[in-house]
Structure 1
Amino acid sequence: MPELTNPPLALRPALRLPVRFAGAGAGLGELSWGQREIWLTMLRQRSWLPIGGWSRLAPGTTLADVAGELRWAVERYQPMRTRLRLDHGGRPLQSVADRGTVGLDVYDCPDGEDPEAFVIALDARDRARPYDFVEEWPVRMGVVRHRGAPTHLSTVMTHLVTDGLGGRIFLAEIADRRSAPAATGTPPLEQARWQAGPAGQRQNASALRHWARVIALLPARSTMDEGPFLRGEFRTTALPLAVHVLSERADVDSSQVLMALVAAALPGDSPAVLRPMVSNRFRRGFERVVAMVAQRGICAADVAGVPFAEALRRVGAAAMAAYKYAYVDPDAVGELFAAAGADPHAGVWFNDRRVASRQGFAGPVPADEALRSAPPGSLRWTVAQEDPFDPLSIDIDDDHDGLLLTVFTDAARLPAAGAEALVRRVEELAVREAVAMLEEEP
């Protein structure tokens, strides 16, 4: 990473440009279920969970260009002009503005400094700064100028604005504003109104029956101390090769394969409890919306001692129920856990965030020689903190020629050695089953 010589002195805006906006759909109402779930996650993790990133600006980009881009986005996407209001009991409500002014900060990178290092430092600083949900707009945008010309842009938003898929839609549309279709999808204020109505309440009641059945299988709420909370990165080239084989030969989605591998590798009693992140974008009005519509699902599958093909089938059936019933009121789910005295953090939290390989692996199915010769993955622990992550969580991303499994664990529940053993069992089991499947072929 490029180094910045004196970031504390340099990271002060040279000016703030007022960007005035006017958009449709103003109103005040309850948070949508997706917003409410990420809000509860923010409270639990004691973080506003910033999302976004930095980018290079095309040569010739002006401050007026960037201001126009910011205005276009805030006017088009209601969550980018949504702030919270607290009712008399302190419950957050969403307040969508129809007009206002958002600031665009402009920073001058000193002539002797690297502007890329500057924007990296700026992006990190804006993520670390506290956020006021009531007073601040949910977008922090900063332009970096070098020798008088805009060169880089940092955009940081609260996770209440959107989930990961919505973020990709936002980036694609803002990169080609002239060709972007008219805004489509159901924004959060309308989502919340539907959820409070008869159809939404029927969906919620059906989902809660599923949650209640799984919660009845969970252990009692833990009374042990928490933390420290650890974050590690496991990089593997063997796992995607094996998953490619298993997915192709079993003719099932690769995410289902990964869930089955995690379930089979989990230590402890059966059934294995999985908490997959579900996008909910298969629902009407959600496919192209820039909003937070992802929610956690829950399912349980008894995979102890069964052949992997059977584990794959059982996890697939359980996962379908998790996907169907992840669209639910998270407050009502919390009440179910409390009434049952069950551990709300039981199981493994699973988030398949892949883009490229999620739609299918490139190239032919690997041969068993490639599987046998692939080296074991490498793991390094990157963070230890007292503020909580999810107790046991695995995020899966594409990573050059392999996969990146980011593992989070509460060391009081599962120490670092146990978490590492889990992801290594996933890799070993995948390779073993894939080799066996190839050997069975004529």
Structure 2
Amino acid sequence: MVERIVVPFEGAGAGVGGLTWGQQQVWRAIVEVGSSMSMGGVVPVTDGRVLADFVEELRFLMSRYGALRSRLIFDEPWHVTSVDACHLVRQETFARGEMVLEIHDTAPGEDPAAVAAAVFAAWKARDFDYTGEWPIREAVVRHDGAITHVIVLVCHLAADGSGLGTMIREMGERDPVTRQAARPYTAMQPLALVAAQRTAQRQTDTAMRYWEAQLRSIRPRRFPGTVDRGQPRWRRVVWRSTALMLAAERVADALGTDTAPVLLAAYGVAFNTVTGQTAPFATQVIVGNRFRPGLADVVTPLAQNGLVVVDVTGVTAQEAIDRTRRASMNASKHAYYEPAARLALIDRLGVEHGEPVDLAVFYNDRRVGVIQAPDPLDTVPAVADIRSALPLTEVVSETPMVFFNEKLMVNVDDVVGTVQITVEVDTHHLAIEDLHRLLAEMESFTVSAATASDQAVASM
């Protein structure tokens, strides 16, 4: 049985405007893959919260964050399905409205965890109605009168992972008695960010000069060619390596840096090795942009594509990592721009080359809590520990995908105690055997750098 409670809300930041730069990038991806790319999950309730608590939590979220009170406006029917109309799509943020909290009561003998999982799976499989539905769904499961699970799903157009983190943190900071926010909301609402970005032409111009210089330094193609390798064409591989984590930490300690450039350099070297290239390695990276002034706590997608171009051929591991670190910093600096300007630049250079510029190779280090420079008090992983962890390396899963809109996407997951990498690949461009080899080469590069002689490591 499903009960629905209507939750009224009201908040600031109402109005009509375009999409933020980050939203434009997300909307283009949503159109390309035909999915809302929603985020969320099922969380067991173990702290005794009752139904009224969840009603107030939902009211708090809807009232505080304009992104959750926004719906899309399509001025022309073709704007709904065109990747070329992302900059024309508008949104309206409402000052007030009503949200629905669902209560799913279990039947006698029914497992509440299974009920919650089924609700989440059904929601995940159903795209949001961008013009007629708020971009969040929430439900609770009630078993023998007690709330056992909460289910939340948020459309990616409303928030990214860091935005969700802000919402969760600020909800937990509320006064335990009054349920009021710990502090007034001072971050920009989405429409205010849209207005600020309209005046940031200099930022876009600077970014495009960087992109053009980098694009002119590389070849148009990332892969040697296209081969029909049958079905399934698109696949997702989840792979784990504790040895890679330990080795990356040891190398990072030797270089006085964090593990992010170590893993990215390993990716670049492995990619060139597997594809047989000696040209500079080029990949788009996902840059969160929350390091920019005033954007840390904004609840809206802020991530945009950065471009890393780095020559890692014929150099030492230390030089490859150092070059990658500098290239990554430059990419992050120039990953905040009007998306239409970047697309126009890529098209223009494609015409000049006589073939499209292939940028369908991606890297996304989505770790949050594990990217940091080594603490002097931390124990540096020993070479013996790295070697003993090698047998633990495993392919966790390999599954077919219905569709994948790029050619290669390497994601470093936020999993403590190991390096977990989730890869999506178009096997017409990179064979599945070569993908497995690429992951092994990433591990080999890093382990080799970490297990060099003590003198070599100390001199890195």
Do both share a fold (TM > 0.5)? Answer: yes
Contact 2:257–2:373 (8 Å) recurs in 1 = no
Between the aligned partners of 2:401 and 2:190, the Cα distance in structure 1 is 33
Query: Deviation per CA, 1:83-107, whole angstroms, max 9, x where unpaired?
Result: 1011236232121110111111111
Q: Which residue of 2 aligns with 1:174?
A: 171
- State the partner residue of 1:336: 345
Match of 2:12 in 1: 24
Q: Partner letter of residue 291 of structure 2? A: F
Is this contact kept in 1: 2:3–2:102, CA < 8 A?
Answer: yes
SS at match of 2:153: strand
The superposition leaves residues 274-302 of structure 1 with CA deviations (integer Å, 9 ceiling, x where unpaired) of 21111101111111222211111012011
Once the 2 structures are TM-superposed, how far is the Cα of residue 214 of structure 1 from its aligned partner? Answer: 2.3
Distance 2:2 2:166 in 1: 31
- What's the TM-score, normalizing by structure 1? 0.91
- Answer yes or no: is the 8 Å Cα contact 1:59–1:151 preserved in 2: no
Matched, 1:46 2:51: no
C-alpha distance in 1, partners of 2:129/2:185?
A: 28
- 1-side partners of 2:403 and 2:434: how far apart? 20
Match of 2:185 among 174, 177, 183: 183
Q: Per-residue deviation at 1:63?
A: 2.1
Q: Return the match for 2:160 from 163, 183, 189.
A: 163
Task: Report if aligned partners of 2:45, 2:150 keep a CA contact under 8 Å in 1.
Answer: yes
Q: CA deviation at 1:361?
A: 5.8
Q: Per-residue CA shift, 1:7-37, capped at 9, x if unaligned?
A: xxxxxx5221111111111011110001101
Shift of residue 168 of structure 1?
1.4
Aligned length: 428
Letter in 2 for 1:402: T
**Does structure 1 residue 370 correspond to structure 2 residue 385?**
yes
Distance change in 2, residues 1:405/1:58 (3 Å):
same
> Which residue of the partner structure matches residue 281 of structure 1?
290
Deviates more, 1:367-376 or 1:274-283: 367-376
Aligned to 1:357, what secondary structure does the other structure show? coil
Alignment of 1:359-438 (within 5 A): 359-360=372-373, 363-376=378-391, 377-436=393-452, 438=454
2:257 maps to which of 247, 252, 261: 252
Residue 218 to residue 16, structure 1, CA distance change in 2 (3 Å): farther
Per the TM alignment, residue 180 of structure 1 is displaced from its structure 2 partner at its CA by 3.2
Aligned-residue offset at 1:397: 2.2
Cα distance in 2 between the residues matched to 1:132 and 1:279: 26
Is contact 1:273–1:347 with CA below 8 Å preserved after alignment? no
Distance 2:416 2:13 in 1: 41
Deviates more, 1:85-94 or 1:272-281: 85-94
2:280 matched to 1:271?
Answer: yes
Aligned to 2:69: 81
Inter-partner Cα distance in structure 2 for 1:368 and 1:59: 43
Moved more, 287-296 or 239-248: 287-296
Aligned residue type for 2:193: Q
1:87-133 C-alpha deviation (Å, 9 max, x unpaired): 23623212111011111111111121111121112111111113211
Letter in structure 1 aligned against 2:361: V
- Runs of 4+, deviation exceeding 3 Å: 220-227, 342-345, 360-363
Unaligned runs of 5+ in 1: 1-12
C-alpha distance in 2, partners of 1:110/1:439?
66
SS in structure 2 at match of 1:281? coil
Q: Is the Cα–Cα contact under 8 Å of residues 136 and 153 in structure 2 kept in the other structure?
A: yes
Structure 1 pair 271–76 and aligned structure 2 pair: CA distance change class (3 A):
same
CA distances 1:175-224 after superposition (whole Å, capped 9, x unpaired)? 23226332232222111111112xx1110111111112223324159995
Tell me the distance in 2 between the aligned counterparts of 1:108 and 1:149.
10
Equivalent position of 1:3 in the other structure: none
CA distance in 2, matches of 1:260, 1:60: 47
**What does the per-residue CA deviation read over 1:292-344, in whole Å, with 9 as the maximum and x for residues that have no partner?**
11111012011111111111121122111110111012222112222222656
CA contact (8 A) 1:46 1:388 kept: no
Name the residue aligned to 1:5: none
> Whole-Å Cα distance in 2 between the matches of residues 52 and 322 of structure 1?
29
Counterpart of 1:241 (choices 232, 238, 246) is 246
Q: How much does 1:412 deviate? A: 0.8
Q: CA deviation at 1:356?
A: 3.1
Q: Given that residues 104 and 142 in structure 1 are in contact (C-alpha distance below 8 angstroms), is that contact kept between their aligned partners in structure 2?
A: yes
Alignment partners' CA distance in 2, 1:373 and 1:41: 41
How has the CA–CA distance of structure 1 residues 240 and 276 changed in structure 2, closer, same or farther, with 3 Å as cutoff? same
Q: Provide the C-alpha distance between the structure 2 equivalents of 1:221 and 1:302, rounded to a whole number of angstroms.
A: 14
Q: Report the equivalent of 1:206.
A: 206
Q: Which moved more, 1:289-298 or 1:29-38?
A: 289-298
Partner of 1:293: 302
> How far apart are the structure 1 equivalents of 2:159 and 2:344?
26
Q: Distance in 2 between matches of 1:36 and 1:218?
A: 27
Identity of aligned residues (%): 34
Q: Is the 8 A contact 1:272 1:347 kept in 2?
A: no
Say if 1:154 and 1:437 are closer, same or farther in 2 by CA, change over 3 A: farther
Moved more, 260-269 or 301-310: 260-269
Q: Which residue of 2 aligns with 1:324?
A: 333
Tell me, which stretches of 5 or more residues in structure 2 are unaligned?
80-87, 176-180
Q: Provide the aligned C-alpha RMSD in A.
A: 2.1
Question: Which deviations, in whole Å up to 9, do the C-alpha atoms of 1:57-83 show, x marking residues without a partner?
Answer: 245433222111101001101111111
The alpha-carbon distance between structure 1 residues 364 and 317, as it changes in their structure 2 partners (threshold 3 A), is same
Q: Which amino acid aligns with 1:159?
A: H
Q: Residues 80 and 137 of structure 1 are in contact (CA less than 8 Å); yes or no, is this contact kept in structure 2? A: yes
| 1:8 equivalent in structure 2 | none
Out of 374-383 and 419-428, give the one that drifted further: 374-383
* 1:30 to 1:317, Cα distance in 2 relative to 1, 3 A: same
TM-score norm. by structure 2 comes to 0.88
Secondary structure of the residue that 1:297 maps to in structure 2? strand
Tell me how far 1:173 sits from its aligned partner: 1.6
Quote the residue 2:194 is aligned against. 192
1:393–1:408 Cα contact (<8 Å) kept: yes
Secondary structure of 2:390's partner? coil
Offset at 1:347?
5.8
Deviation larger for 266-275 or 382-391: 382-391
Q: Which amino acid aligns with 2:260?
A: S
Partner of 1:350: 363
In the alignment, the residues of structure 2 paired with residue 174 and residue 28 of structure 1 have an alpha-carbon distance, to the nearest angstrom, of 27
Contact 1:184 1:289 in 2 (8 A): no
Checking the alignment, whether the CA contact within 8 Å between 1:34 and 1:293 is kept in structure 2 is: yes
- Partner Cα separation in structure 1 for residue 173 and residue 227 of structure 2: 50
